[in-house]
Amino acid sequence: MHIAIIGAGISGLLTALELIEQGCSVTIFDQQAAGKAASWAGGGILSPMYPWRYPQPVNDLAKYGKGLYQSWNEKLQPITSIDFEIHETGMLIFDEADFETGLNYAAAYNEPMQHCEYLQQEQLEQINPRVSEQLTQAIYFPQIANVRNPRLLKSIIAYLKQHAQVEFIENTWINHFEIHEHHVQSIGASNGHSYKADHFVIATGAWSEHWSQQLNLSIPVEPVQGQMLLFKTPENWLPTMCMNEVMYLIPRTDGHIVCGSSMHHLGFDKRPSTQVQQNIYKTSLAMVPELADFPVVKQWAGLRPSSPTGVPYIGKMPDLNNLWANFGHYRNGLCMGPASAQLLRQLMLQQPSTVNPAAYDPNRLIPNKELSRTLQTV
């Protein structure tokens, strides 16, 4: 079976990995070079930030992220010589209003990886002596890890590009489907070419609304800009990830510390704002004041594929028997990515599914479907 995957971000790339493991052949399309959009720009925390603030279907996928990435890294690293750098630093959360919910979350939802403990100042100083003296208590999640997403993407792309069952067609915008009797015959590209396949997957992230008009659907996915900055400190300088008021610090093993992130509705504008960067810098220093002693070596912005609840669309698109969805992951595309791709593969190949697919059903995209469902439950 030959599958065309539109989009070479983490969702499209992991979908390709899942399918070639089952003997399928894939062609992967992207409007730019593979792996250069939101998947590259994010922080790589392998857990939703404050998971109790998200709908359960988000966490049902995200909880598999760390384990699946570890398995993929073991398989790919000997071939690509690129380590994902899955870094089990643990996470400190300083938002006091979340303490009670956070402390009860692991038991309430049977998620052992989200086990946490309450720390007062003396314990906090032992876990992370870099934390500001103004922060006197926290909840600590020792099992939460981060993945170095640029290396993750490089490794997956390198693996796929050497694979006999994979073809990449980059810097090519796919602009329409050729449809006949509920069946996609081919896709048309900006270069004037047409490409055939047995099945087609939309994994176009923040650009997914583009398909609304042709498919007569309401695809409520739009770009939300997030800005980041990067400090360079000595190796292993910051012992844990830190989070306060939805802002985070993510230490890499080589001493880089990723700091972010903002949220602004600016269309497809990826230009960093000086004011936003100053706010991120100030918030970072409020958590770890000694960061002021180290240089900011990079700043950038990415475009998250926002969706109304953060629950992605995974499965067969309405009224078409060979067009599939894997998009709309919003802020959690990295940590939901492996299980999302696994679920899509299971649905495409009619295999038993790891999670209940109903919550991700793209039939939600039929115009007024969400509204009618809301009215029925009121």
| pLDDT tens column, 238-260 | 999 999 999 999 999 999 999 99
In words, the CATH class of domain 2-54+150-221+308-377 is alpha beta
**What pLDDT was estimated at residue 286?**
97
Split at pLDDT 50, 70, 90, the class of 323 is very high
Pick from 299, 301, 283: nearest CA to 291: 283
* Single-letter amino acid code for the residue at 45: I
pLDDT at residue 376 in the model: 32
Q: Which fold has domain 91-143+222-306?
A: D-Amino Acid Oxidase; Chain A, domain 2 (3.30.9)
Amino acid at 346: Q
Residue 194 CB: number of other CB atoms within 10 A? 12
| Residue 369, pLDDT score | 57
Domain limits, CATH 3.50.50.60, in the chain: 2-54+150-221+308-377
pLDDT band at 43 (very low <50, low <70, confident <90, very high): very high
What pLDDT, on the 0 to 100 scale, is given for residue 210? 94
Task: Pick the closest to residue 331 from 303, 358, 299 (CA basis).
Answer: 303
HSE of 266, CA atoms in CB hemisphere, 13 A: 14
Query: pLDDT-derived band of residue 40, with 50, 70 and 90 as boundaries?
Result: confident
Q: CB-based burial of residue 292 (10 Å sphere; 0-12 exposed, 13-18 middle, 19+ buried)?
A: exposed
Taking alpha carbons only, the member of 181, 186, 190 closest to residue 198 is 186
Q: Is the pLDDT of residue 168 over 70?
A: yes
Average per-residue pLDDT for the chain:
94
114 exposure class (CB count in 10 Å sphere: 0-12, 13-18, 19+): buried
Identify the residue whose tokens are 């048309």.
188
Instruction: Please check whether residue 340 is in contact with residue 61, taking contact to mean a CB–CB distance below 8 angstroms.
Output: yes
d(CA 158, CA 195): 23
Angle between helices 149-161 and 10-20 in degrees, nearest 10: 40
DSSP-assigned letter for residue 189:
E
Q: With cut-offs at 50, 70 and 90, classify the pLDDT of residue 373.
A: very low
In this predicted model, what pLDDT tens digit does every residue of 47-63 receive, in sequence order? 999 999 999 999 999 99
* Cβ within 8 Å of residue 215, ≥6 positions away: 177, 317, 318, 320
Provide CATH 3.30.9.10 ranges for the chain: 91-143+222-306
> Tokens 């802020």 appear where?
331
**Which amino acid does the sequence have at 188?**
G
Chain centre to alpha carbon of residue 60: 14
Whole-structure pTM value = 0.93
Amino acid of residue 119: L
Cβ contact 144:335 at 8 Å: no
pLDDT at 123: 96
Distance, CA of 280 to CA of 298 (rounded, Å): 13
Mean pLDDT to the nearest integer, 183-212: 95
Residue 217 in contact with residue 211, Cβ under 8 Å? yes
pLDDT tens column, 328-347:
999 999 999 999 999 999 99
353 pLDDT tier (thresholds 50, 70, 90): very high
The enclosing H or E element of 155 equals helix 149-161
Position 272 pLDDT exceeds 90: no
pLDDT at site 261: 87
